[in-house]
Amino acid sequence: MKVGRILAGVFFVLVLNSCESWFQDIGLKDIKRVDGPCTITLKDGTVIETPYSLEISIRTEAITYRDEDRKLWTVFREEYESYACQE
């Protein structure tokens, strides 16, 4: 009985993971999460470093990040040149 529930749970998780790109394709998931630490380079040359993950809107390409004090910030596509994260 317990083995059946565990297998059903594993199957459910696998199905959800495989559906992630499909959810993005049909517009149900708009956020891409990139694990940190990360660096964002602004168009004016300023470099923003965060030890935390980034959340990037697929539709608008806006980046939301937390600073070292865990304060939440958003940088819009027209404000940054690039971003890079260590894996």
24-57 per-position pLDDT tens digit? 455 567 999 999 999 999 999 999 999 999 999 9
Which CATH architecture does the domain made up of 2-85 adopt? Roll (2.30)
For residues 34 and 21, give the distance between their C-alpha atoms in angstroms, rounded to a whole number.
15
Please report, as a single letter, which amino acid is at residue 27: G
51-85 per-position pLDDT tens digit? 999 999 999 999 999 999 999 999 999 999 999 99
List the chain domain ranges.
Answer: 2-85
pLDDT over threshold 60, residue 18: no
Residue 81 has what pLDDT?
98
Q: Residue 34: name the closest of 58, 61, 53 by CA.
A: 53
Q: Residue 65: name the closest of 42, 87, 36, 22 by CA.
A: 36
pTM over 0.85: no
Q: What tokens appear for 70 in the block?
A: 């865990």
